[in-house]
Structure formats: structure tokens, C-alpha cells
Amino acid sequence: GAGVSQTPSNKVTEKGKYVELRCDPISGHTALYWYRQSLGQGPEFLIYFQGTGAADDSGLPNDRFFAVRPEGSVSTLKIQRTERGDSAVYLCASSPTGVSNEKLFFGSGTQLSVL
Amino acid sequence: AQSVSQHNHHVILSEAASLELGCNYSYGGTVNLFWYVQYPGQHLQLLLKYFSGDPLVKGIKGFEAEFIKSKFSFNLRKPSVQWSDTAEYFCAVTPSGSARQLTFGSGTQLTVLP
């Protein structure tokens, strides 16, 4: 596609439920990133994929959060036993190769609301 | 670990006024610096970046930023703002040559009055 696509755009769930958020990066981009943006804050790094592997998952807040990218393209962020504090906009971004001076192409995000 | 401070949370200007948004970072080594912008209802997009060479970098829509290494600063400037510049602006930093972990500031909301 022309840009990074994220689905759903909005997700409302109840505390304790499991959610999956999907990211479809720009075709051919090997690097994929997940960020979380809480109200009034800048995006916070969660995880970085280079191809199929998670090259840096140091930003995942705890073991309820997990992400996969099995074929090196689409990625899914999975959150188990959701908590109200997980409510935020989850942003996905991709870049061609992942070198540190490359710009990131962001999606529009998934607004997650945990009731 | 690196960090970024944006001291102006909300800036309100009239059209044609000059703009300067502050950004300071904390990191002991060489860095790459970015300004991203988010227009209302749109996704984050790159405004400009610095990674080496001339510390004065120019970006899209007439924006520029100057890297001052001694001050750990990367302030964003525009000589004359327009109503269409109303947006949220984020400064970001990543260590050069390392695995990518872009660290963002908390953002500055710019409102330009017509």
C-alpha cells in the first residue's frame, strides 16, 4: 500500500480481555516499530523488528505485551489481560532498512480504550 | 539511556510571527536528531533531521533547526508561521549507529491564529 496501515483504528475492550492490534508496513520496508502514545505525551518506544525477528524489545512494559512479525511484513501487537492503564494510541512505523538516521513512516494508530 | 525535553507545551502565535520551539536532549555520545509533526487528524510525519555535517538543517514548509552540540539543543525555527502550521511538534533523538530506539519529547502544541 501507499503508507503504513493499522487496524482497527479504534478498539474498546473490557479490563482483563485480550486484544490484537495489526500493522501493515510499507511494502519492502524491513524495519518495523511499535510505539505507544498516552494523552499529552510523545510516542514511547515498545519494540523494533528487523525482518522477522525482534531486534529490540526493551520497551515492552511487561510480559502481558507481545508482538510478532512471522513473515517479515505484517506485525501484530498482542496484549493479554488488559488493564485500564493500557489505554493509549498504539502507533506502528516502518522504515526501509532500519539504519539510525532513516526517517520513520508512521501509521495513523490504533486508539485502545480499556474500560 | 537518552532523553528529550521540550519545555514549551503549548505555543500560541499570530500569523506571520516568528517561531522557535526548544528541544534539549540528554545523551553522552553521537546522536541523530529529528523533528516530527502531527497535523490535526493526520499521522506523524518527518519535518527535518540531522545526522552529520552542517548543523543548520532545513526541512519542509520553510522550517529549519540548528544543532548546537555544546548546549545539547536542536531548536526548531520558522521565520513566519502560517495558520496551516497549527499542529503538534515532537523532537526526537536516537544514538548514531545503534539499534533503532527513537526517543521522543512530550511535544509542543502550536496554535497559529489567523
Question: pLDDT digits over A86-112, tens only?
Answer: 999 999 999 998 888 888 999 999 999
Cβ-proximal residues to B93 (8 Å cutoff; 6+ apart), any chain = B2, B4, B25, B27, B31, B32, B33, B34, B74, B102, B103
**pLDDT tens by residue, B15-41:** 999 999 999 999 888 899 999 999 999
> Is the per-residue pLDDT at B7 higher than 90?
no
pLDDT-based confidence at A2, cuts 50/70/90? confident
Instruction: Express as a percent the part of chain B with pLDDT over 90.
Output: 81
Examine the pLDDT at A1 and tell me if it is beyond 60.
no
Distance from CA of B66 to the nearest CA of A (A): 16
Q: What percent of chain A is modeled with pLDDT above 70? A: 99
Which residue of chain B is at minimal alpha-carbon distance from A41? B106
Residue A42 to residue B44, Cβ atoms within 8 A = no
- Mean pLDDT (chain B) is 93
Residue type, A109: G
Reported as a single tens digit per residue, the pLDDT across A7-33 is 999 999 999 999 999 999 999 999 999
Residue A99 pLDDT: 84
List the alpha helices (DSSP H) in B8-98. Answer: none
What's the confidence (pLDDT) of residue B98?
Answer: 63
Q: Give the nearest partner residue to A56 out of B34, B49, B99, using CB atoms.
A: B99
Given this model, what pLDDT does residue A25 score?
97
The residues on B that touch A, with CB distances below 8 Å, are 4, 6, 32, 34, 36, 42-46, 49, 51, 90, 92, 94-107
User: What distances in angstroms separate CA A22 from CA A9, A53, A82, B34, one per listed residue?
Assistant: 10, 17, 16, 26
- B98 CB neighbours in chain A (<8 A) are 100
Which residue of A42, A107, A108 is in closest CB contact with B90? Answer: A42
What share of chain A has pLDDT > 90, as a percent? 88
Among the partner-chain residues B51, B101, B104, the one whose CB lies closest to the CB of A56 is B101
User: What integer is the mean pLDDT of A52-57?
Assistant: 91
Q: How far is B109 from chain A (nearest CA, A)?
A: 10
Nearest to B43, CA basis, from B88, B12, B79: B88
Q: Looking up cell 493479554, which residue turns up?
A: A80
pLDDT at site B92? 94
A71-75, B60-64, B92-96: least confidently modelled range: B92-96
| pLDDT number for residue B99 | 54
